[in-house]
Chains A and B, each alone.
Chain A
Amino acid sequence: MRMNWTLPLLLTLAAITPDPTKAAESAACLAANGGKGDAKPIVEALAAFKPLLNEQQQKSLEHPFDYDSAIRWSNLPLGVVPRNGLRLGDLDAKQAAAARRVFDAALSACGLKLLDEIRLADDWLTTYDKRPIGWSGGNYFLTVLGTPDTKSPWMLQIGGHHLAYNFTFNGHAPGATPLFFGTEPIRFEIKGASYAPLDAQSGAMSRLAAAIAPLPQAKLSGTFTDVVKGVVVSGVPSQLPTGGTDTGFPQTYPTGEQDRGVKVGSLPPDQRRLVRQAIESFASFPGKSISAPLLESYLDPKNLDATFVGLSGDPQLGAKGSYVRIDGPRVWMELVVQPAVAHPEDLHYHALWRDKHSDYGGEIHK
């Protein structure tokens, strides 16, 4: 049973196009103090959290750091892809406060804000779509792969339907990715407060897309109905579906110069600045100790010059199939506009940040 859509539909249709004012508000978290993402305080916060859990909860929290566990994240709701990990909706107040200290240590202010707002968006969906899909801000999970310490590799996963933080510590390479984020609805109100969780990222990508749209080589061929390097569901009719997780890892990426967009090295300074801002907006969620080494590489002038940016569809991101991509020597960032699921006449965003060299900290092999 679905409820009356008039109000939420109007709210969302009125504000599909990224709003510069809201984007500025969303970007304000960049200047705020957040968690640095250093392993030590995260390990300490986890050590304080674990004794508050019963035996079954501890089993839910901890999993081996291996391929099968690491790739078990999704952009699909719980009804399609059950998650490993400790369900945040099941924590009591003391446990939730301790879990929050883990998030505080790992996530920047932007990352924490995104986690909170994406969970609220899922709560908003439960009000309007009663199908047993698994919407709910409670259906977000905290998972530890391996043994948290300051020397050996391990992973922290925080996520659910529209969010997947996969942070690897002490790996061969900096481990901020894969990092999936999306939102449905694009904008919403709860208790008089308005939210637009991806405004900073959609705004940055939209401004970039609008700037390069007049360049013929910026147009990517084909149609985009989802992110390209995300998770997929495979299956055999009459049998339970499989996949819906990162089974495509390790990914292959475009090579050469054809159909990848326009090279950043050929863009004027003001457009190069828009590329930098878009990259920084996607990389704003982990604590800086996690993201800074990656940003340094992505924004190195030589690497930035060799990066491609391309688009398809509406640069304002106001129509389904609109798509913007940043494809560098190691950075891969994409944002697509899809029809909304709870109400197909509306829209929603999917976005993905991958690192071609260091997804899962370079620690996971098939």
Chain B
Amino acid sequence: MKRASLAALLGLFAVAAGAHPAPNSMLRLDFQAQAVLAEYWVPESELAYARAVDPGGEFPAYLLRHLAAETRDGKPWRVTVGAVREAQYLDHPYRVAVLRFAPPAGAPTKDFVLIDDVITHEVRNHVVFVSARRGQGFELLGALQYPAHRLPVAAPATVAQSR
């Protein structure tokens, strides 16, 4: 699809998706050799409900209270939050955090268990879609909705780790 027509179609979707007042979150993983890098797209409207019941600290601190990772046998990964920016997606304002998931010494980066109740600890209909980079695009790995907060994730099988 040509860039101009994609942009036009996205514009239409943006206007139309604004018709949906309960946007969901997107966690986009990029499995690399040393760590898993990620972007977490969190809709401001739903975040406000979550922060109303858990207002402490800045956004990175909130994320770290509700986000963790561990190996399949329970060894914790190290999660850090980098830059945070504001963005729009489909007519909704989002907050976007850059994350890094680092495995414990000796553990591979190709899979881990995501432990995540960002927003879902409060908003019962909210869904976090977890996807992983595959080539130029992303592949959906799974989704989390209350009360589920654990999701085993793995690098898409047919794609070599990018770096």
Contact = CB atoms under 8 A, between A and B. Distances in A.
Contacts of A339: 21
A27 interface: no
Interface stretch (A105-113, A185-193, A237-245): A237-245
B12 A225 contact: no
A20 interface: no
A341 interface: yes
B123 A133 contact: no
B137 A225 contact: no
B163 interface: no
B146 interface: yes
Contact of A236 (B23, B123, B138): B138
A234 B143 contact: yes
Interface in A216-241: 220-228, 230, 232-241
Given A79-B12, A133-B16, A241-B17, A235 B22 contact: no
B41 A240 contact: no
Interface string B137-149: 1101001011110
Contacts of A236: 26, 28, 131, 137-138
A233 B21 CA distance: 11
A131 B124 contact: no
B157 to A, nearest CB: 19
Given A76-B20, A225-B21, A240-B9, A132 B15 contact: yes
A69 B149 CA distance: 30
Contacts of B19: 76-77, 79-80, 133, 341
B142 to A, nearest CB: 11
B139 to A, nearest CB: 10
Given A237-B87, A341-B21, A223 B124 contact: yes
B17 A233 contact: yes
B41 to A, nearest CB: 7
Contacts of A77: 16, 19
A225 B13 contact: no
A162 to B, nearest CB: 11
Nearest to A338: B21
A132 B16 contact: yes
A134 interface: yes
A224 B20 contact: no
A225 B20 CA distance: 10
A2 B137 CA distance: 37
- Interface majority SS on B: helix, strand, loop or mixed? mixed
B95 to A, nearest CB: 13
A232 B23 CA distance: 8
A225 B143 contact: no
B10 A220 contact: no
Nearest to A320: B21
Interface string B115-126: 000000011111
Contact of B123 (A79, A225, A233, A239): A225
B46 interface: yes
Interface string B74-104: 0000000000000101100000000000000
Nearest to B126: A225
Contact of B12 (A132, A232, A336, A341): A132
B109 interface: no
Contacts of A241: 13, 17, 90
A168 to B, nearest CB: 25
Given A133-B19, A341-B18, 15 more contacts: A76-B17, A131-B16, A132-B12, A222-B123, A222-B124, A223-B49, A225-B45, A225-B125, A232-B143, A235-B89, A236-B131, A239-B138, A240-B9, A240-B10, A241-B17
23 contacts: A79-B17, A79-B19, A80-B20, A131-B15, A131-B18, A220-B124, A222-B123, A223-B122, A223-B123, A223-B124, A225-B125, A228-B124, A232-B24, A234-B127, A235-B26, A235-B89, A237-B41, A237-B87, A240-B10, A241-B17, A248-B145, A254-B147, A338-B21
